[in-house]
Structure 1
Amino acid sequence: MSSLVFFFVPAVIFVGLVLPLWLVLHYISKWRSAKGLSGEDKQALETALAEVDHLEDRLRTLETILDADHPNWRDEQAVK
């Protein structure tokens, strides 16, 4: 009987206290590490933002050309 208690009590303590605490702390650390963007995600975001800036520049250039060639083009678009 004493050998059964010798193994049973530490097992109950481990399963009741140590294991849940271990699991909670493990998943908290996983959550904190996954909280931010990965390096690949950051690179993709920066590439997309650079492309947006490039397209905005092109749009401004096209509007400048249209303003020079057809000064009232904005009014004509609003009427249609």
Structure 2
Amino acid sequence: MDEALIPLIAIIALFVVLPGMVFHYITLWRRQKTLQPDDERMLEDLWRSAKAMERRIETLESLLEARDAQAHRQPPRPHRTHLDD
């Protein structure tokens, strides 16, 4: 009887347990591919932060452009050296 039990266990392991484990891990892998609610909230927060930074950068660029335009309109000031004294 012991000799008949080993092939039976091997067949069950090969055709039932092994595919069951494969399908279990495939299901886990597919579930992890989707975003969890916490991930969605974090992604939304990052999106808002990126938009706020984009607005700040645009504001800084416009200020710098205005400053450069103003500097180009003014005549250059003479550079003083210690030899001028």
Same fold flag (TM > 0.5):
yes
Report the structure, 1 or 2, having the larger helix content: 1
Partner of 1:68: 66
1:32-71 residue CA offsets vs partner (Å, 9 max, x unmatched): 1111222212211111111111111112122223333431
**May I ask how many residue pairs the two structures share in their alignment?**
71
- The structure whose Rg is larger is 2
For 2:6 and 2:65, the matched residues in 1 are separated by: 86
Partner of 2:44: 46
TM-score normalised by length of structure 2: 0.63
Cα RMSD after superposing both structures: 2.4
For 2:70 and 2:7, the matched residues in 1 are separated by: 88
For 1:8 and 1:49, the matched residues in 2 are separated by: 59
Which amino acid letter does the alignment assign opposite residue 44 of structure 2? Answer: E
- Bigger relative contact order, structure 1 or 2, given CA contacts below 8 A and separation 6+? 1
Partner of 1:34: 32
4+ residue segments displaced more than 6 Å: none
Q: Percent identity?
A: 28
TM-score normalised by length of structure 1: 0.66
